[in-house]
Amino acid sequence: MIVVIHKSIKYFFYILIALTFIKVEAQDSQLKIADSLYTIGNFSEAIKSYKTIVPKDDYILLKIAKAHKAKGTYKDALNYYEKVILMNTELLSAKLEYAKLLMSTNQFKKADSVYSDLVAKHNDNPNFQYRLGLAKKKLKDTTAITYFEEAFRLDNTHQKSCFEVSKYYLKKRKYNTVEDTANKGLASYSENPELINVLAQNYLLQKYYSEAIPYFEKLIKLNHGNEFVHASLALCYHKDYEFKKAIEQYLQALTFNNQVPLRYTRLAQAYTSIKKYDEALTSFKMALELKDVPIDEDLYNIAMTYRHREEWENAIKHMKLAIRENPNYYNAQYQLATFADAYYKDPKVKLKYYNNCLKKLEASKEDNTFINFLKQTINKRVKQLEQEIEKK
């Protein structure tokens, strides 16, 4: 009888092992199916498949969380990440993914709490320091920079923290710090467009146009040319007297936004510098059209462009418009007189323009070297014209 019982138990034990093996096999098979569905991006079916697996360990729960995140059902994803973390408090990857999702769903306080915990336990991890800095930044917490700086101190090849530190000091106009920090980052990765952009702006703000040029050029070479980059490079070329290159870049910037009056004005000035007066006039007029109220400076520039082409009637017309916009534009008053001097043959007409200009200068309360120079120049010409009239 004892032998029979023993054999029965033994038999039952074998059956139990077999059933367990079959169950494990089934689970493995189901897991492979679920993983394959996840791999090909069929996240809804993968979730269904993962849910059929019993019991669910942290791996299964994490897979369900990731699948929900991948298909955009973020609330469900967060719930499953929380379950994973409760099940396995040491699973850092789950905590990190959970915090990232909190950040992307604008739950910055919760993210800050998770990242703070990660930093407290792993303060030598630069990525944790950097991400805590991002959370602090979103919360407008001024301590954010300390975490970015710590991340970069721990790893001076950490490009994202380097950018945050460089950008912070750029806003503070700490130019030397920006240069030192950004160059350290570029030493480990020379094609980081964010750091190149920061250095370009760093030189541009200091009006070091020649130094800024190579950085803006490199951004374009790296396919990071945008309106700001092209417009800034154009200005740098312009200030560096490379007018043809400036024109090319102004035109590129205008393809992004053709409603910027100042850009047309600068383009016109560059055209004028290389004596392309037709193009300059077109650009000056575009600048004028885009402004709500005509500006005396634009009208003055148009008048001067006509003057370069010796189209005196148009030059006089537009200089008068400039003076109408700004009656105290004394240089415009003087230029109008010189235009009249060049255009009219009758010395009496010429004299009238100079005398009008002289009256306005003398009535001016301004007393500076430029005004005095204009008075002396005009008085000399007035005497010449008076002598010419007397001889007739």
Q: For residues 392 and 382, what is the distance between their CA atoms, to the nearest angstrom?
A: 16
Residue 52: give its domain's CATH number. 1.25.40.10
pLDDT tens-digit series, residues 70-122 = 999 999 999 999 999 999 988 999 999 999 999 999 999 999 999 999 999 99
pLDDT in tens, the chain (392 residues): 444 445 556 555 545 454 444 444 445 677 788 888 888 989 999 899 888 888 788 889 999 999 999 999 999 999 999 999 999 988 999 999 999 999 999 999 999 999 999 999 999 999 999 999 999 999 999 999 999 999 999 999 999 999 999 999 999 999 999 999 999 999 999 999 999 999 999 999 999 999 999 999 999 999 999 999 999 999 999 999 999 999 999 999 999 999 999 999 999 999 999 999 999 999 999 998 888 666 798 899 999 999 999 999 999 999 999 999 899 899 999 999 999 999 999 999 999 999 999 999 888 877 788 888 999 999 999 999 998 888 76
Q: Using an 8 Å Cβ cutoff, are 38 and 66 in contact?
A: yes
Q: Looking at the domain assignment, is residue 155 inside a domain?
A: no
Cα–Cα distance measured from residue 28 to residue 78, given in angstroms and rounded to the nearest whole number: 26
Q: How many CB atoms are located within 10 Å of the residue 120 CB?
A: 10
Whole-number pLDDT of residue 53: 87
Residue 281 lies in a domain: no
Q: Which of 73, 88, 103 is the last residue of a domain?
A: 88
Q: Which residues constitute the domain of residue 353?
A: 329-392
Q: Which two tokens stand for residue 136?
A: 């602090």
Query: What's the pTM?
Result: 0.76
Number of domains comprising the chain: 2
Among 36, 61, 88, residue at a domain's last position: 88
Cα(377)–Cα(354) distance, integer angstroms: 10
Which of 62, 88, 114 is at the close of a domain?
88
Nearest to 159 by CA among 125, 122, 187, 128: 187
Asked if the structure places residue 298 within a domain, the reply is no
Asked if residue 231 is part of any domain, the answer here is no
Q: Look at residue 229 and tell me if it is in a domain.
A: no
> Is 213 inside any structural domain?
no
